[in-house]
Copies of this chain bind each other. A is one copy, B any other.
Amino acid sequence: MKKLINDPNDVVAEALLGIEAARHDVRVDHANRIIYRRDAPVVGKVGLVSGGGSGHEPLHGGFVGQGMLDAACAGHIFTSPTPDQVFEATKGVDSGTGVLHIVKNYTGDVMNFEMAAEIAAADTGIPVETVVINDDVAVADSLYTAGRRGVGVAVMLEKLVGAAAEQGRPLSDLVTLARSINEAGRSMGMALSSCTVPAAGKPTFELGEHEMELGIGIHGEPGRRRIPLATAREIAEHLMEPILADRDFTPAPVIVMLNGMGGTPLIELYVMYGEVAKIMERAGITVARNLVGNYITSLEMAGCSVTVLQADEELISFWDAPVNTAGLRWGI
């Protein structure tokens, strides 16, 4: 295993030290491994809390800041944050208007956020609502998930609901909005290589030299199938066909994210985006906005995923609203 780390057990704690040193617009609670917006809780604004296993950076900590999340709980690598962490973050961001939990559909995450919401209700009376994201069309159930996994829509949902929260919308509106965004988005990913969890010290899975895996999960969970290495053009078809078959994206425009898994260079992501753009054009779907880069990663996995989200005028205006985070920044 070759990594830029010290002790494999200290990776998350030490990355949080680096984030604290680098970013002056966030506060880090090292004991609870929570990244907060520096000015949280923001008076009059619903608090947005997300989190999950580490190793997917910039998700979620890189999306804490004005216009997105108020707090992100960092679990160990590929391991859910604890109910205590989430409860702590929930208290830390509540300004009296309630808190929205944004949860990717993995069994541990769903359970621990649910327990935190229950503790919050019992101990503090903070109103907590939850949206569970399940946008991955690859498989019906998975290694760590009942139902579809939550992946790229998390990035878009945090941006869009973050903008709405910034406008002072009430919790009940935000949970409706968040669920409609989850319903409107679909994703699928693939891998050319495995990632290596530092504490494990060896690749999570093995792929042959001329093999790739379609529908891979962001922790290396098995996907739909392994097939021989294909061209970017064919890979784009393999990813887009199930996405477009799963939901009718016409006639409103969409936001597309071409996401790198962490170990794929940007030049390849642009080659892939070119192929995805051609498929969207042939399908008669207008791409109103796009992201190309590393947003929800799997450590150093080589590969990519595509997320397509149908976005009406209101969503596009939320997308264009100012955001100031490490991972997404514009208008500020």
Contact = CB atoms under 8 A, between A and B. Distances in A.
B4 A277 contact: no
A270 B54 CA distance: 12
A283 interface: no
A138 interface: no
Interface in A89-137: none
Contacts of A18: 269-275, 277, 292
A265 B58 CA distance: 9
Contact of A265 (B17, B268, B297): B297
Interface of A: 2-7, 11-12, 14-22, 54-55, 57-58, 62, 192-193, 209, 212, 229, 231-233, 235, 258, 262-275, 277, 287, 290, 292, 294, 297, 299-300, 302-304, 324, 326, 329-332
24 contacts: A2-B193, A3-B192, A4-B192, A4-B232, A4-B235, A4-B304, A6-B231, A7-B231, A11-B267, A15-B268, A18-B270, A18-B274, A18-B275, A22-B258, A22-B277, A55-B265, A57-B265, A57-B270, A265-B297, A266-B294, A267-B299, A329-B329, A330-B332, A331-B332
